[in-house]
Each structure stands twice: as C-alpha cells, then as structure tokens.
Amino acid sequence: GSLVLAAGWLLPLRSVHRVTLLRGGSAVTIGTPGPLGLGRRSFTVPLRDVSGRAHRAEVAAAIPIKVRGRPFFFLLDKAGQLSDPRLFDLTVGAFRKF
C-alpha cells in the first residue's frame, strides 16, 4: 500500500509535461505534473545545468534529462511533439558534464 502511494507521488514529478527554452536561450523552464498527477509544477534552471543523457534516436520510449542539483532524472516522452527538433538537440538534448 505505502509503496504504491510513494510511487504514485514521486513518478509524476519526474515525468516532463513541457520544456520551454526561454528568450535569449540561456534558461529552460521544465513543467511536470504535480504529486499523484494532480495540478502542474514548473521550475526554471540555467541551460548549462541541463543535460540530455541520450539522443532522441537512441532511446525507445523516454529521453532522460539530468538537472544539476536535483536527484534522479526527468523523463521526456519520445512520442511527444517537438516544434524544432534540431534546436532541442543543440540545447536541452545536448550532453553536458557536471
């Protein structure tokens, strides 16, 4: 019971709803569902603190994104829509060493 509740609380927090590159290209806003999938949460981080850990073409279902200072990975569904895939690859999807 409590394990299911913990998974239901934490997993939506790691699923990415929206990624927005802010004007100037130096920061990114990442939006996720709230705990238990209720509501929405978002946070803004500098682009230098975001690293795509695998290329879009290499993953089967979700693109893992690491944000410096946050535990675990965020998962961006590969079936989602990218308005500019090349821009995504060069910004959010780029691998950076932390």
Kindly report, residue by residue over 67-94, the tens digit of the pLDDT. Answer: 999 989 999 998 888 889 999 999 999 9
Question: What is the reported pLDDT for 47?
Answer: 96
Question: What is the reported pLDDT for 12?
Answer: 86
Dist CA 96 CA 49 (whole Å): 8
User: Can you give the pTM of this predicted structure?
Assistant: 0.85
Dist CA 78 CA 95 (whole Å): 17
Give mean pLDDT, residues 53-74.
93
Question: What is the reported pLDDT for 50?
Answer: 97
DSSP of the chain, one letter per residue? -HHHHHHHHHHHHHB-SEEEEPTTSSEEEEEEE-GGG-SEEEEEEEGGGEEESS-GGG-SSEEEEEETTSSS-EEEETTS--S-HHHHHHTTTS----
